[in-house]
């Protein structure tokens, strides 16, 4: 039971990390110190997709599922909503590159706005 709960928590954390990689730059607009956490996380997320690395959370989650005697995700919120986002069906190389480009474009856009805003404030 505890291993199953821990595996579910890993999935939730994994989802939150992905959300942070994609949209964490928006937090920088509010809290500037987040930039020191977000930029390395965003680089890591892009490299995971481009280099086809396996996120360290994936094997940990699999080991916890095995320890719980589960072969895959049970029904419910996690299996229905989070797993397809973290492990999209039909994930292939082209999709991985597209996801990486999406993350780069979103973050470059938000950071571009952030820099423009700071320059504008300093020039006033």
**pLDDT at residue number 75:** 61
Does residue 35 or residue 65 have the better pLDDT? 35
Measured CA to CA, the distance from residue 47 to residue 53 in angstroms comes to 7
The answer, yes or no, to whether residue 88 has pLDDT greater than 80, is yes
What ranges in the chain are assigned the alpha helix state H? 2-30, 35-51, 57-67, 77, 83-86, 93-123
**pLDDT at residue number 87:** 81
Rounded to two decimals, the pTM is: 0.80
Q: 29 Cβ partners below 8 Å, 6+ apart?
A: 110, 113, 114, 117
Measured CA to CA, the distance from residue 50 to residue 60 in angstroms comes to 21
**pLDDT at residue number 77:** 63
Range 8-40 burial, b when 16+ CB lie within 10 A, else e: bebbeebbebbebbbebbebbeeeeebeeebee
Measured CA to CA, the distance from residue 55 to residue 44 in angstroms comes to 9
Percentage with pLDDT > 90 across the chain: 52
pLDDT digits (tens, 9 = 90+) for 7-59: 889 989 999 999 999 999 999 999 999 999 999 999 999 999 999 888 888 88
């Amino acid at each position: 039971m505890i291993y199953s709960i821990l595996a579910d928590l890993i999935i939730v954390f994994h989802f939150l990390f992905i959300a942070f990689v994609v949209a964490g730059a928006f937090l920088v607009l509010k809290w500037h110190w987040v930039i020191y956490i977000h930029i390395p996380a965003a680089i890591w997320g892009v490299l995971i997709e481009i280099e086809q690395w396996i996120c360290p959370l994936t094997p940990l989650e699999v080991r916890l599922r095995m320890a719980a005697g589960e072969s895959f995700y049970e029904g419910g919120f996690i299996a229905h909503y989070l797993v397809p986002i973290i492990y999209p069906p039909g994930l292939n190389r082209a999709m991985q590159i597209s996801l990486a480009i999406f993350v780069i474009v979103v973050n470059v856009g938000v950071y571009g706005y952030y820099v423009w805003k700071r320059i504008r404030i300093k020039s006033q």
